[in-house]
Amino acid sequence: MKVKYTVKKEDDFLIMTISGDLIGDEVGPKLVEVISDAIQENFKKCIIDLSNVRYISSSGIGVLITMLTKMRNVDGEVYLTSPSEHVKKLLIITKLNNIFSVFGSVEEAKENVA
Protein backbone atom coordinates (compact mmCIF):
# COMPACT_ATOMS: atom_id res chain seq x y z
CA MET A 1 0.00 0.00 0.00
CA LYS A 2 1.43 3.33 -1.08
CA VAL A 3 2.22 5.85 1.62
CA LYS A 4 0.26 9.08 1.70
CA TYR A 5 0.82 11.95 4.06
CA THR A 6 -0.75 15.26 4.90
CA VAL A 7 0.81 18.17 6.73
CA LYS A 8 -0.98 20.80 8.82
CA LYS A 9 0.42 23.70 10.75
CA GLU A 10 -1.50 24.40 13.95
CA ASP A 11 -0.22 26.98 16.42
CA ASP A 12 3.45 26.09 16.80
CA PHE A 13 2.96 22.42 15.85
CA LEU A 14 3.69 20.78 12.55
CA ILE A 15 1.24 17.88 12.37
CA MET A 16 1.99 15.15 9.87
CA THR A 17 -0.50 12.35 9.27
CA ILE A 18 0.93 9.31 7.53
CA SER A 19 -1.13 6.46 6.12
CA GLY A 20 -0.16 3.21 4.44
CA ASP A 21 3.02 1.20 4.89
CA LEU A 22 6.03 3.30 5.87
CA ILE A 23 8.82 1.52 4.05
CA GLY A 24 10.95 4.59 3.44
CA ASP A 25 11.18 4.14 -0.33
CA GLU A 26 10.35 7.17 -2.48
CA VAL A 27 8.33 8.94 0.19
CA GLY A 28 11.10 8.84 2.84
CA PRO A 29 13.15 11.73 1.43
CA LYS A 30 9.95 13.77 0.96
CA LEU A 31 9.02 13.33 4.63
CA VAL A 32 12.51 14.42 5.70
CA GLU A 33 12.22 17.41 3.35
CA VAL A 34 8.93 18.43 5.02
CA ILE A 35 10.79 18.48 8.36
CA SER A 36 13.67 20.50 6.89
CA ASP A 37 11.21 23.04 5.46
CA ALA A 38 9.37 23.24 8.80
CA ILE A 39 12.66 23.91 10.60
CA GLN A 40 13.31 26.76 8.14
CA GLU A 41 9.95 28.17 9.23
CA ASN A 42 11.02 27.87 12.90
CA PHE A 43 8.77 24.96 13.83
CA LYS A 44 10.24 23.05 16.78
CA LYS A 45 7.43 20.60 17.52
CA CYS A 46 6.37 17.94 15.07
CA ILE A 47 3.56 15.49 15.79
CA ILE A 48 3.43 12.45 13.54
CA ASP A 49 0.06 10.71 13.55
CA LEU A 50 0.62 7.02 12.87
CA SER A 51 -3.01 5.90 13.31
CA ASN A 52 -3.28 4.86 9.65
CA VAL A 53 0.17 3.26 9.35
CA ARG A 54 -0.10 -0.53 9.15
CA TYR A 55 3.55 -1.42 8.80
CA ILE A 56 6.97 0.20 9.19
CA SER A 57 10.09 -1.35 7.66
CA SER A 58 13.64 -0.83 8.87
CA SER A 59 14.15 1.95 6.34
CA GLY A 60 10.84 3.49 7.50
CA ILE A 61 12.31 3.52 11.01
CA GLY A 62 15.39 5.19 9.55
CA VAL A 63 13.17 7.93 8.12
CA LEU A 64 11.56 8.55 11.54
CA ILE A 65 14.98 8.69 13.21
CA THR A 66 16.32 11.10 10.56
CA MET A 67 13.31 13.36 11.16
CA LEU A 68 13.86 13.22 14.93
CA THR A 69 17.59 13.96 14.54
CA LYS A 70 16.93 16.99 12.34
CA MET A 71 14.43 18.36 14.87
CA ARG A 72 16.67 17.71 17.88
CA ASN A 73 19.57 19.44 16.10
CA VAL A 74 17.57 22.67 16.40
CA ASP A 75 16.32 21.92 19.95
CA GLY A 76 13.05 20.62 18.53
CA GLU A 77 11.19 17.37 19.12
CA VAL A 78 9.15 14.81 17.21
CA TYR A 79 6.18 13.15 18.92
CA LEU A 80 4.50 10.00 17.64
CA THR A 81 0.78 9.48 18.17
CA SER A 82 -1.77 6.68 17.79
CA PRO A 83 0.46 3.79 16.70
CA SER A 84 -1.38 0.57 15.83
CA GLU A 85 -0.68 -2.54 17.94
CA HIS A 86 1.77 -3.77 15.31
CA VAL A 87 3.62 -0.45 15.19
CA LYS A 88 3.59 -0.22 19.01
CA LYS A 89 5.26 -3.65 19.24
CA LEU A 90 7.84 -2.54 16.68
CA LEU A 91 8.63 0.60 18.71
CA ILE A 92 9.12 -1.56 21.82
CA ILE A 93 11.24 -4.22 20.08
CA THR A 94 13.50 -1.57 18.53
CA LYS A 95 13.53 0.40 21.81
CA LEU A 96 12.36 3.47 19.87
CA ASN A 97 9.67 3.93 22.51
CA ASN A 98 12.57 5.11 24.72
CA ILE A 99 13.71 7.64 22.12
CA PHE A 100 10.38 9.01 20.90
CA SER A 101 7.59 10.39 23.05
CA VAL A 102 4.52 8.37 22.10
CA PHE A 103 0.98 9.59 22.82
CA GLY A 104 -2.46 8.07 22.31
CA SER A 105 -3.72 10.93 20.14
CA VAL A 106 -2.70 14.20 18.52
CA GLU A 107 -4.80 16.07 21.12
CA GLU A 108 -3.03 14.28 23.96
CA ALA A 109 0.37 15.17 22.49
CA LYS A 110 -0.61 18.83 22.08
CA GLU A 111 -1.85 19.03 25.69
CA ASN A 112 1.28 17.38 27.10
CA VAL A 113 3.91 19.33 25.21
CA ALA A 114 2.34 22.78 24.87
- 114 residues of the chain, pLDDT tens digit each: 678 999 999 989 999 999 999 887 788 999 999 999 999 999 999 999 999 999 999 999 999 999 999 999 999 999 999 999 999 999 999 999 999 999 999 999 999 986
Residue 1 is predicted with a pLDDT of 66
Distance CA 108, CA 99 (A): 18
Residue 24 is predicted with a pLDDT of 76
Residue 3 is predicted with a pLDDT of 86
The string of DSSP letters for 32-43 reads HHHHHHHHHTT-
Output the CA–CA distances (angstroms, integers) from residue 5 to 21, 26, 63, 92, in the order listed: 11, 13, 14, 24
Residue 109 is predicted with a pLDDT of 96
Domain limits, the chain:
4-109
Render pLDDT for 45-68 as a digit per residue (tens, 0 to 9): 999 999 999 999 999 999 999 999
Superfamily name with CATH number, domain 4-109: STAS domain (3.30.750.24)
Q: Which of 48, 54, 64, 65 is nearest to 88 (CA)?
A: 54
